[in-house]
Amino acid sequence: MTSHVQGLYPWPFDGDLRPENTALIIIDMQIDFCGEGGWVHSRGSDLRNTRRPIEPLQNLLKVLRPAGYTIIHTREGHRPDLSDLPANKLWRSQQLNGNGIGAMGPLGRYLIRGEPNWDIIPELAPAEGEVVIDKPGKGAFMGTDLDTVLRTRGIRNLMIAGVTTDCCVQSTLRDANDRGFECLLLEDCCGAADHSYHEAQVEIFRLSNGLWGSIATSDDVIATLTGAAA
């Protein structure tokens, strides 16, 4: 029996949608990106933009978790001694207001592993047994064991969400596509520091006509999995 999520195209392409072969990856829903006192907040961004995925993700998780779907969370961050932080990335991070990676904020050093602000926001805290991938870069595959984790579990379909749409989300999705995974961008479960950046990235994916995967909303997924679309 085939099952599709209706979106840019019926996803997955072959209709093989099961808990055993499908995962949700939630990218970087950390205090540094989504919470007061975090890095994005220090740069003057409107946190409503990066917090917009919270409620739809909570609703989606209420369906996916009981059904046994794999849930994976990522956190971007660097070693306390910055030995894994390229000099040009550090320099770029300092250009807006001087609060670059590793600078001290009200909760701790920005984007440094182990600091309170580096952790995932309480609203989307990983459940017991859910995988957390700590990544040093934008894409979730670079420098991590994510590919091994997915293939060991037999995952071939990926629903991708989180922040930011224009940076870590799109980097992860494009890399996953090149690795042969069937990808779905969850439009309402993503956000960016500026909402126009989110809208532009979603439009780029839409205009690609399925080149990197499909686009849908959390409601589309829930409707498919609960039979509400019938």
Active site residues: 28, 135, 168
Q: Which residue has the tokens 């309170």?
A: 116
Q: Which two tokens stand for residue 45?
A: 């961004």
Which residues contact residue 125 at a Cβ distance below 8 angstroms, ignoring those fewer than 6 apart?
Answer: none
Q: What SS3 class is residue 170?
A: helix
Report the alpha-carbon distance of residue 34 to residue 37 in Å, rounded: 9
Q: Where are the alpha helices (DSSP H) in the chain?
A: 31-34, 39-42, 47-51, 54-67, 87-93, 146-152, 170-178, 195-207, 218-226
Residue 25, amino acid: I
CB 8 within 8 A of CB 1: no
Q: What DSSP designation does 61 have?
A: H
